[in-house]
């Protein structure tokens, strides 16, 4: 049984707080103001971009320490090291299954709705130079290079970088080593446990700037691309959003149902983080808070430390739906019919290229370029058709990815027999019972 005494329960204090001090209210107001500024004063809205960029950089600054501390203390506190490999293996089985399912869903919807049919665009009229930078990045993203890049140059270099998988790799090795030395490693373990308290306090401090970041990012998006830019491709945008929503509510909802929890209650529990992801178009902006909240909801620290960071590279449901849907949209718009065999090849290539994507803005566009570069039937230059709306698609990709990783964490925890189901039901039933990390309390077991 997990120790859940660390969760402070004080619903009355939470409900008594003034509405303007509640984070999700502040983020909603910031998003609305950002949209208004970008729409009516587009040039000024574009100038707000540094606010969004600065907030994302602030959060990325703390991601490496959060992952390292969570994974090391989680693994070092385990009595059976075999469980580390077992949890990682189960997580990968889950990731591969649902990532592939998301790709298949994208293909099915694209063939059924056919959002690109009727545009009749001449491929020769496309200006490939607009996406050349994405294509060059895509060529640099190979599966072998991706796997080799998981191994860092030095033991400490991941802690000063921004590669999630490198941090996870070093943290797992260090956690196993710390657990292996027994009592001699106890002082180090206790130090890291104590060190996690101010780190989570820092996460809470940074989250106070979330409304500013959401305001800046949304003002820039609307100011630069404009809501009207969605008009010509409204069918594709609507199809993608509806497909992603159905995937979350129906597919992930069924997974949640069979694992005895409600997907709607989970979404309500994570509403602050989801609004932050919506405002910044980056799921990384809410990664530290997601790890905190999933642990507070009854998922054990080792599982959270392994599944969440891994999921940010291997469990990208929204990105996968987008890749196959966008690829077929481009083919349909250019009047390039694809046979079932060609679509299967596209699916297989997307399965590999998507594993190199990270939960940051624009990563889905780069992996789409990598997929189309390997499938010659659809010209990469066709990506110019959706370049103007990719920012709006990025928001939906990030939201779907985020929810998918939250569900994966609960499922793997239950699958491994380590989920505190009673705590999960309590927290999802009353999210106010969990105080946010700004109170300086890191979950410990």
End-to-end CA distance of the chain: 10
Band of pLDDT at residue 431, cut at 50, 70 and 90: confident
Residue 410 included in any domain = yes
Which of the pair, 271 or 445, is modelled with greater confidence? 271
Residue 440 pLDDT exceeds 80: no
Rounded Cα distance, 445 and 443, in Å: 7
Q: Which CATH number is 303's domain given?
A: 1.10.3860.10
Which of the pair, 356 or 393, is modelled with greater confidence? 393
Mean pLDDT of the chain: 81
Mean pLDDT for the stretch of residues 155-177 = 84
Domain hosting residue 99, numbered range: 11-439
User: What are the b/e assignments for 185-204, b being 16+ CB within 10 Å?
Assistant: eeeebeebbeebeebbbbbb
pLDDT at position 436 is 59
Rounded Cα distance, 383 and 321, in Å: 16
Beta carbons within 10 angstroms of residue 176's beta carbon: 16
**Are 412 and 314 spatial neighbours (Cβ–Cβ below 8 Å)?**
no
Q: Per the structure, how many domains does the chain have? A: 1
Residues 6+ apart with CB under 8 A from 406: 266, 270, 290, 294
pLDDT at position 26 is 87
Which tokens is 49 given?
A: 């971009």
Residue 5 included in any domain = no
pLDDT at position 259 is 94
Residue 309 included in any domain = yes
Residue 218 included in any domain = yes
Residue 315 included in any domain = yes
Residue 444 included in any domain = no
DSSP 19-88: GGGSHHHHHHHHHHHHHHHHHHSHHHHHTTHHHHHHHHHHHHHHHHHHHHHHHHHHHHT-S-THHHHHHH
Specify which of 27-31, 81-85, 353-357, 438-442 reaches the highest per-range mean pLDDT.
27-31
Mean pLDDT for the stretch of residues 339-365 = 69
Which of the pair, 440 or 213, is modelled with greater confidence? 213
Instruction: Report how far apart, in Å, the C-alpha atoms of 34 and of each of 38, 255, 345 are.
Output: 6, 36, 41
Residue 4 included in any domain = no
Instruction: Report how far apart, in Å, the C-alpha atoms of 432 and of each of 242, 297, 422, 424, 428 are.
Output: 30, 12, 16, 13, 9
Residue 322 pLDDT exceeds 70: yes
pLDDT tens digit sequence for 33-86: 998 998 898 899 989 989 988 888 888 888 888 888 888 888 887 766 677 788
Instruction: Report how far apart, in Å, the C-alpha atoms of 7 and of each of 69, 197, 420, 424 are.
Output: 19, 14, 13, 12
Residue 135 included in any domain = yes
What percentage of residues in the chain have a pLDDT greater than 70? Answer: 83
Band of pLDDT at residue 125, cut at 50, 70 and 90: low
pTM for the predicted model, two decimal places? 0.81
pLDDT at position 79 is 64
């Amino acid at each position: 049984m997990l120790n859940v005494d660390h969760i402070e329960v004080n619903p009355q204090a939470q409900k008594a707080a003034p509405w303007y001090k509640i984070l999700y209210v502040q983020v909603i107001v910031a998003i609305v103001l950002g949209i208004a500024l970008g729409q009516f004063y587009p040039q000024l809205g574009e100038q707000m971009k540094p606010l969004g960029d600065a907030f994302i950089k602030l959060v990325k600054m703390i991601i490496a320490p959060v992952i390292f501390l969570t994974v090391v203390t989680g693994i070092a506190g385990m009595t059976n090291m075999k469980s580390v490999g077992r949890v990682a293996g189960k997580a990968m089985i889950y990731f591969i299954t649902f990532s592939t399912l998301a790709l298949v869903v994208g293909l099915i919807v694209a063939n059924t709705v056919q959002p690109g049919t009727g545009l009749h665009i001449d491929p020769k009229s496309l200006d490939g130079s607009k996406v050349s930078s994405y294509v060059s990045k895509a060529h640099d993203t190979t599966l072998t290079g991706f796997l080799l890049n998981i191994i860092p140059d030095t033991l400490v270099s991941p802690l000063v970088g921004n590669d999630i998988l490198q941090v996870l790799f070093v943290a797992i090795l260090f956690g196993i080593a710390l657990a292996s030395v027994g009592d001699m490693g106890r002082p180090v373990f206790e130090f890291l446990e104590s060190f996690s308290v101010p780190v989570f306090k820092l996460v809470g401090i940074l989250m106070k700037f979330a409304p500013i970041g959401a305001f800046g990012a949304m003002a820039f998006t609307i100011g630069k691309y404009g809501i009207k830019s969605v008009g010509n491709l409204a069918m594709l945008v609507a199809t993608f959003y509806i497909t992603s929503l159905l995937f979350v509510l129906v597919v992930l909802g069924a997974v949640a149902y069979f694992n005895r929890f409600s997907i709607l209650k989970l979404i309500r529990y994570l509403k602050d983080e989801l609004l932050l992801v919506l405002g910044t178009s980056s799921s990384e902006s809410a990664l530290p808070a997601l790890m905190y909240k999933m642990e507070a909801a009854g998922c054990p620290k080792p599982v959270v430390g392994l599944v969440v960071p891994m999921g940010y590279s291997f469990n990208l449901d929204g990105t996968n739906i987008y890749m196959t849907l966008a690829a077929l949209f481009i083919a349909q718009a250019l009047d390039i019919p694809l046979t079932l065999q060609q679509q299967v090849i596209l699916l297989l290539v997307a399965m590999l290229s998507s594993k190199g994507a990270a939960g940051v803005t624009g990563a889905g566009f780069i992996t789409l370029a990598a997929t189309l570069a390997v499938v010659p039937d659809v010209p990469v230059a066709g990506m110019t058709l959706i370049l103007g709306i990719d920012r709006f698609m990025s928001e939906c990709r990030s939201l779907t990815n985020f929810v998918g990783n939250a569900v994966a964490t609960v499922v793997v925890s239950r699958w491994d027999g380590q989920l505190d189901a009673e705590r999960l039901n309590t927290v999802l039933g009353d999210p106010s019972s969990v105080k946010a990390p700004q109170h300086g309390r890191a979950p410990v077991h």
